[in-house]
Amino acid sequence: MAGRELLVHITCVVGALVVYDVALGVFDIAPGSSAGVMARGMAAIGALGGLTQVVLAVRQSGDVPVRARWRYVIALIAAVGGLTVVSVMVEPSPGSWVGPVLIGWLLVVVGVYLAVEIRAGYRESIGQ
């Protein structure tokens, strides 16, 4: 039997991808345009579990602490949002600085997220 969290996750992921597809068709947005890239970024946040974590945090249900869910959502928005904003603002070209900057941004976001999660886990283990 599938757990409740899994069903919420599947519903949110499929919903995010359907909304993305419908938005491109209804508003006649080209996937490579700035609006298309922004829509893809929002769909990626939903598909990577951001929407699921928000739903479960608001409901305060599941095995994962609510604060950990919000930390994940913030890290996901920072990572995907940063990539999306740079992709919209800069036209990449061969030998461009965009690739290394985006990789650096992802490494910083993941590093900060892991440091915050490690600190939160430690503080929880000692009862603070």
Residue 82 burial (CB count, 10 A):
17
pLDDT of residue 1: 43
Alpha helix locations (H) across 27-97? 34-47, 50-59, 66-89
**pLDDT, block means (10 residues), the chain with 128 residues:** 74 82 79 76 79 85 85 88 78 70 87 93 84
pLDDT of residue 114: 93
pLDDT of residue 128: 66
pTM: 0.75
pLDDT of residue 108: 92
User: Where exactly are the structural domains of the chain?
Assistant: 4-125
